[in-house]
Amino acid sequence: MKKYAFGVDIGGTTVKMGFFSTTGELKEMWEIPTRTEENGKYILGDIAAEVKKKMDELKISPEETAGIGVGVPGPIGPDGTVLKCVNLGWGIFNVEKELSKMTGLKVKAGNDANVAALGEMWQGGGRGFKDMVMVTLGTGVGGGIIIDGHILPGINGAAGEIGHIPMKEGETETCGCGKKGCLEQYASASGIARTAKKRLAEEKDTDSVLRNIADVTSKDIFDAAKEGDAFALSLVDEVGKMLGKALASIACVVNPEAFVIGGGMSKAGDILIDAIRKYYVEYAFHAERETEFKLAELGNNAGMFGGVKLVLD
Ligand SMILES: [Zn+2]
C-alpha cells in the first residue's frame, strides 16, 4: 500500500523538498541548498540523501512509498532526459534513472513550470479541471498546459513556454530569450514596469503618482491603479490586452476549461484578472468565450505538489 511520496522542486539556489501523503497532504517541507559546483554533480545525491534520512527518521519502508516526483528548471524529454539545465550546470543525462538508482524508488521528472501547473490542477486553483493552462506572471512569463489531466510536455518539455509567444512588431529591446517582441517583454512584472518607465519618459504631460517613485515596480502600478490613477489604469489595461490576446490564441489551440493565473504579479488579484478577461472575451473564438479564470493557490509549493502527482500518475 503506497501511503507516501516525495515532491521535489529543484531551483537554481535551493531545492524544495516535500513529504506528502498520497492523498495530497503536504506533511513536511524543507529546503536544501542547490550545489551547482562541478556541473551540479552533487544535486541528485543530496536529494537522495535527504529522502533516505526522512524515511529512516519516520521509519517508512520503500513499499509504502510511491516514489519521488521532480521538477527541473529546464527542458526535459518524456523519458526523463534533461537537455541542459543551464543554471544547474547540467548537461544531458537521465534524471529519472540516476535518482532511481540512488534511492531504489520510482522517479518521475518534468519541467518545473509544467509540474507546477499539474500541482495547481491537483490541489490548487485548478482543482476540478482536467484541461487547464497555467500562466505564471513573475519576473518572466511562464506556463504549463494540462490536457485531460496530464502535462503536455512537447518534444523537449518546452510546450507552455507562453512567455515567448511573439506579440509585437518593431520592438527595439531584446527579450531574455534573444528575440524581440515576446509576450514576456510586456506582460511580466518587469515588463509592465519597463513600459511604465518608457511611457513616463515619453509622455511628459502625463500626470501620475508613479512620477514620484524612483524605480517603479509592478506592485506600485497595480496599487496606483486601485487608487484610480488614470495612467496606471492605462498600463493595467495594456497588460490585460496583451494577455487577453495571447490567451485567446492559446484557447484556439487547446480549448481549456480554465486559465489559472499565478506568479508574483497575480497578487494584484481581481483588477488583473478583470483586465485580462475584458480583452480575452473580445479576442476569443465564440466557443471559447466562457473559459474560466482562476487565481493560483499554491504559490512556490506548486512544484512539489505537481511532482507528487506526476509520480502517482
Ligand atoms: Zn522571449
Q: How far is the CA of 161 from the centre of ligand 1 (A)?
A: 9
Position 78 scores a pLDDT of 85
Do 292 and 308 lie in one domain? The reply is: no
Do 142 and 158 lie in one domain? The reply is: yes
Mean pLDDT of 5-16: 95
pLDDT at 141 over 80: yes
Mean pLDDT of 52-67: 97
Do 158 and 284 lie in one domain? The reply is: yes
- Helix H or strand E segment including 94: strand 90-94
Q: How far is the CA of 11 from the centre of ligand 1 (A)?
A: 20
Do 170 and 189 lie in one domain? The reply is: yes
Segment 162-194, tens digit of pLDDT: 999 999 999 999 998 899 999 999 999 999 999
Mapped onto helix, strand or coil, the DSSP state of residue 75 is: coil
Position 48 scores a pLDDT of 98
Q: How far is the CA of 23 from the centre of ligand 1 (A)?
A: 38
Do 92 and 144 lie in one domain? The reply is: no
pLDDT band at 74 (very low <50, low <70, confident <90, very high): confident
By residue range, what is the domain housing residue 104? 4-121+301-312
pLDDT at 156 over 80: no
Name residue, grid cell 506600485.
220
Q: How far is the CA of 140 from the centre of ligand 1 (A)?
A: 9
Do 116 and 162 lie in one domain? The reply is: no
Do 219 and 113 lie in one domain? The reply is: no
Mean pLDDT of 301-311: 97
Do 93 and 214 lie in one domain? The reply is: no
Q: How far is the CA of 168 from the centre of ligand 1 (A)?
A: 11
> What span, in angstroms and rounded, lies between the C-alpha atoms of 19 and 51?
9
pLDDT at 96 over 90: yes
The domain that contains 231 carries what CATH number?
3.30.420.40
Q: How far is the CA of 302 from the centre of ligand 1 (A)?
A: 24
Position 1 scores a pLDDT of 83
Q: Which of 67, 49, 62 is nearest to 106 (CA)?
A: 67
Q: How far is the CA of 1 from the centre of ligand 1 (A)?
A: 45
User: How many domains, the chain?
Assistant: 2
Do 256 and 173 lie in one domain? The reply is: yes
> What span, in angstroms and rounded, lies between the C-alpha atoms of 5 and 62?
10
List CB contacts of 197: < 8 A, sequence separation 6 or more.
216
Q: How far is the CA of 162 from the centre of ligand 1 (A)?
A: 9
Q: How far is the CA of 5 from the centre of ligand 1 (A)?
A: 35
Q: How far is the CA of 71 from the centre of ligand 1 (A)?
A: 22
Q: How far is the CA of 163 from the centre of ligand 1 (A)?
A: 6
Describe the chain by its helix, strand, coil percentages, rounded to 5. Answer: 45, 25, 30
pLDDT at 120 over 90: yes
Q: How far is the CA of 272 from the centre of ligand 1 (A)?
A: 22
E-only strand ranges, 99-206: 107-111, 132-137, 141-147, 150-151
Do 213 and 153 lie in one domain? The reply is: yes
Do 146 and 44 lie in one domain? The reply is: no
Q: How far is the CA of 171 from the centre of ligand 1 (A)?
A: 12
Q: How far is the CA of 213 from the centre of ligand 1 (A)?
A: 28
Segment 218-258, tens digit of pLDDT: 999 999 999 999 999 999 999 999 999 999 999 999 999 99
Do 70 and 105 lie in one domain? The reply is: yes
Q: How far is the CA of 156 from the centre of ligand 1 (A)?
A: 17
Region of poorest pLDDT, from 83-87, 148-152, 162-166, 252-256 = 83-87
Average pLDDT, the chain: 95
pTM score, two decimals? 0.92
